[in-house]
């Protein structure tokens, strides 16, 4: 089992290394100008050299993402719980939610800028509006799929709607919830960077825009590397939390202990 696991991870790592080596060789062999496509080694050097300048922007992007994410999760949980407990509410609210979620979020950034000026606020709001939808859907679905027999058993005991929600509904929603957190954090990140790119003077998105207008292409790519790194890191963090909290939902293949 674990032997195969390690081998799988080895292949994944090898593929990543191979990708960058191929990129480096491609640039060297074709004599590609670094104004078009810089070599990974150049990008790495730029990243290290400019790191003190990049650092506050990284913090800015991370903070806006997390802030938007936390607000989005709070909103998503409340809204999801509301429409999940009642079939009628679910059916009634769903079309509106679909409509809202299918608006490309780039299109709402100008509106947020119009209302709140450029900077941190529209970035947070964009992150929020882009990440709350998967949370709503997953919480609502989790709640709507509670076994009716169990609900009957508890109701016969005199349990209130809240008792059932607290003891059965919410815990059973956790696997759905954490699965959606992984998606939502990536979305929030996209939203924040998007808004920074369009209308902000801080954050990685803005650094990349500025660098690109100065033809500092290695710096643009350095920003891209930072974004990729942050995105992966956030995803990993929430995957680990998911595994810890909702292990019970993913143990299907475990061997039964004696």
Partner 1 sequence: MRMQPTSNFSGEAVSAGSAPIAIELSDTSVTFGRGTRAVPALSTTTLRIADGEFVALVGPSGCGKSTILRLVSGLVQPSTGVVIVGGREVAARAMRVGMAFQNPTMLPWMTIERNIMLPLKIVEPFRSQFRKRRKTEFRDKANALLEQVGLKGFGGRFPWQLSGGMLQRANLCRALIHEPRLLLLDEPFGALDQFTREELWSILQKLWMTHKPTVLLVTHDLREAGFLASRICVMSARPGRILDDSHVGFARPRTVAMTFEPDFVALNQKLRGMIVDARSAAQEGAA
> What is the nearest approach in angstroms of partner 1 to the Cβ of residue 153?
5
Phi, psi of 254 (to 5 degrees): -65, 150
Least Å distance between CB 139 and partner 1? 16
Q: Which of 159, 212, 231, 239 binds partner 1 (CB under 8 A)?
A: 159
Tell me which of 168, 184, 207, 217 binds partner 1, using CB under 8 A. 168
| Residues found in the chain | 258
Could you say whether residue 144 binds partner 1 (CB under 8 A)?
no
Binding window for partner 1 (CB under 8 A); candidates: 6-14, 23-31, 125-133, 142-150 = 142-150
Helix segments in 31-156, DSSP class H:
40-49, 51-84, 87-101, 109-116, 120-144, 148-156
Its sign, for the CA torsion 38, 39, 43, 49, is negative
Which of the 8 DSSP states describes residue 102? T
Alpha-carbon separation of residue 98 from 20, 80, 91, 135, 236 (angstroms)? 39, 13, 11, 13, 28
Cβ atoms of residues 146 and 181 within 8 Å: no
Task: Name the minimum Å distance from CB 227 to partner 1.
Answer: 36
Report residue 251: phi and psi, to 5°.
-100, 15
Instruction: Name which position in 15, 104, 158, 244 contacts partner 1 (CB under 8 A).
Output: 158
* Residue selected from 155, 228, 237, 243 as contacting partner 1 according to rule CB under 8 A: 155
Q: How many CA atoms lie within 13 A of 213 on its CB side?
A: 6
Report in angstroms how near the CB of residue 183 gets to partner 1 at its nearest.
Answer: 22
CB closer to partner 1 out of 107 and 156:
156
Taking the least distance from each CB to partner 1, the nearer of 33 and 167 is: 167
Which of 52, 157, 213, 244: binder of partner 1 (CB under 8 A)? Answer: 157
Chain contacts with partner 1 (rule: CB under 8 A): 147, 149-150, 152-159, 163, 167-168, 171-172, 174, 246, 248-249, 251-252, 256-257
């Amino acid at each position: 089992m674990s032997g195969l696991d390690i081998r799988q991870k080895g292949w994944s790592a090898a593929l990543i290394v191979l990708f960058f080596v191929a990129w480096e060789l491609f640039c060297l062999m074709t004599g590609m100008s670094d104004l078009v496509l810089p070599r990974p080694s150049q990008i790495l050097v730029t990243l290290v050299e400019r790191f003190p300048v990049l650092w506050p922007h990284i913090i800015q992007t991370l903070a806006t993402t997390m802030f938007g994410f936390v607000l989005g999760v709070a909103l998503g949980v409340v809204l999801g719980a509301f429409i999940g407990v009642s079939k009628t509410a679910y059916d009634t609210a769903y079309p509106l939610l679909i409509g809202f979620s299918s608006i490309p979020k780039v299109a709402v950034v100008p509106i947020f800028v119009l209302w709140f000026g450029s900077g941190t606020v529209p970035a947070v709001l964009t992150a929020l509006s882009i990440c709350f939808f998967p949370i709503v859907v997953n919480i609502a679905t989790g709640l709507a799929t509670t076994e009716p027999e169990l609900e009957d058993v508890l109701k016969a005991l005199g349990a209130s709607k809240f008792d059932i929600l607290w003891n059965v509904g919410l815990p059973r929603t956790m696997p759905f919830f954490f699965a959606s957190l992984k998606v939502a954090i990536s979305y929030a990140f996209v939203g924040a960077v998007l808004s920074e790119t369009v209308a902000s003077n801080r954050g990685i998105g803005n650094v990349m825009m500025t660098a690109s207008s100065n033809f500092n292409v290695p710096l643009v790519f350095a920003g891209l590397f930072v974004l990729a790194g942050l995105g992966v890191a956030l995803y990993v963090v929430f995957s680990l939390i998911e595994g810890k909290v909702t292990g019970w939902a993913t143990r299907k293949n475990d061997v039964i202990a004696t």
